Amino acid sequence: MVKINNNYLKLQGSYLFSTIGKKVNAFIVENPDKKVIRLGIGDVTRPLTPTITKALHDAVDEMGKAETFRGYAPDLGYDFLRKAIADNDYKLRGCDIQADEIFVSDGAKCDSGNIQEIFAQDNRIAVCDPVYPVYVDSNIMAGRGGTYSEKTEGFTDIIYMPCLSENDFAPQIPEEVPDIIYLCFPNNPTGAVIGKDELQKWVDYANEKGSVIIYDAAYEAYIRTEGVPHSIYECKGAKTCAIELHSFSKNAGFTGVRLGYTVVPKELKRDGVSLHSLWARRHSTKYNGAPYIVQRAGEAVYSQEGKKEIAGLVDYYMRNAEYILNGLRGAGYTVSGGVDAPYIWLKTPKGMTSWEFFDHLLNTANVVGTPGSGFGPHGEGYFRLTAFGSYENTVEAVDRIKVV
């Protein structure tokens, strides 16, 4: 008889955002007259910009004509997009990343869950705590979690790096040496960033110990502060220890379009094996390439007009972030993030747990956020709000929160 992957049974509850979605839907069914404002999942609300919409239309037209129709996309991505990424996201920043080190995909979520497949099962992973749940869950599914401990509310084989207000929500190098280190800056969920010197320490550490850093740069477009790195490849030596994940979701509004990419430098080797070759093998075996029309839309993101429009989207959401930060701070909340990131991390008031505050806000202000504890044990007592709502809804939500 078939045997299932028992590791799945170790997962705690359902995926965080599915749990929240179910709770909110139940509330709406019971309270059909209430206007619920969702500042929970980091899903964008602004429409695609004109340059991107045009690129999509044009590509659809090409697909509708025999002369310009395209079948399967190249599995690692079209050259036009890989080159646009290399030129704009790397060369312009002084990073030496070549087009053929870029693997185009349907989004950073899939890549962040899949990348662990090229590593052996007995690697130890280290994650920030709190953390984007996909890194942890995908490793548990692969058998790298050990057992769940009720006492620590964590997995025995995972190294958790607490990110607390005392350390500005930045992880410290752990005592035990991890094989794989997940870092995400600007951070989801705390909205924290680290400077280049700090990131350089991680790069040096990983090179010294032979670890690999999986660096999630999904929110880099939100960086405003000078000196905060947009890419780990701004650090010396990162090409021999780091893989970088990128998304088009948060900068260009592609959450429903789906496009992302992963950089695996050719110099990155472990056990004498090129991780670039392994990921290329995995990608070409399991993936048929992001759709042509979507990759053309991705290319448009890097056009002059596209860049201006994207900057406008980011500005729009950052105005929301500022409103949330100032509004809640003025109302006496302890808040952080929201300066170089679209997430605001707030301390729950009156000692409420994260889920108690979730219920309280939903019931009294009809506002949805994300409980910090859903991101890990050190997220307990915190709550995340996203700046990805409409400005009007954001203002209304903050004004409601202030008076409950």
Positions in the binding site for ligand MLT (CB under 6 A): 41-43, 109, 132, 188
- Closest distance to ligand MLT from the beta carbon of 184 (Å): 10
**How far is Cα of residue 208 from the mean position of the Cα atoms in its chain?**
27
- Shortest distance, CB of residue 52 to ligand MLT, whole angstroms? 19
- Taking the complex as a whole, the smallest distance from the CB of residue 267 to ligand MLT amounts, in Å, to 29
Measured CA to CA in angstroms, residue 378 lies from 174, 325, 363 at distances of: 15, 21, 25
Contact 271, 42 (CB under 8 A): no
Q: In the bound complex, what is the minimum distance in angstroms from residue 132's beta carbon to ligand MLT?
A: 6
Cα Rg, the chain, nearest whole Å: 21
In the complex with ligand MLT, the residue whose CB is nearer, 113 or 195, is 113
For Cα atoms 40, 42, 44, give the angle at the middle one, nearest 5 degrees.
115
CA-closest candidate to residue 369, choices 390, 348, 341: 348
Least gap, CB of 172 to ligand MLT (angstroms): 23
CB 134, min distance to ligand MLT, A: 7
Nearest to 128 by CA among 382, 375, 384: 375
What gap in Å lies between CA 296 and CA 77, rounded to an integer? 11
C-beta of 200 vs 386, nearer to ligand MLT: 386
Give me the sign of the Cα torsion angle 263, 266, 272, 275: positive
> Closest CB to ligand MLT among 255 and 295?
255
Q: Which is nearer to ligand MLT, 40 or 265 (CB)?
A: 40
* Nearer residue to ligand MLT within complex by CB, 188 or 295: 188
Closer residue to ligand MLT in complex, CB, 132/160? 132
Cβ partners under 8 Å of residue 265, min gap 6: 97, 101, 233, 238, 239, 240, 242, 276
By Cβ distance, which residue is nearest to ligand MLT? 42
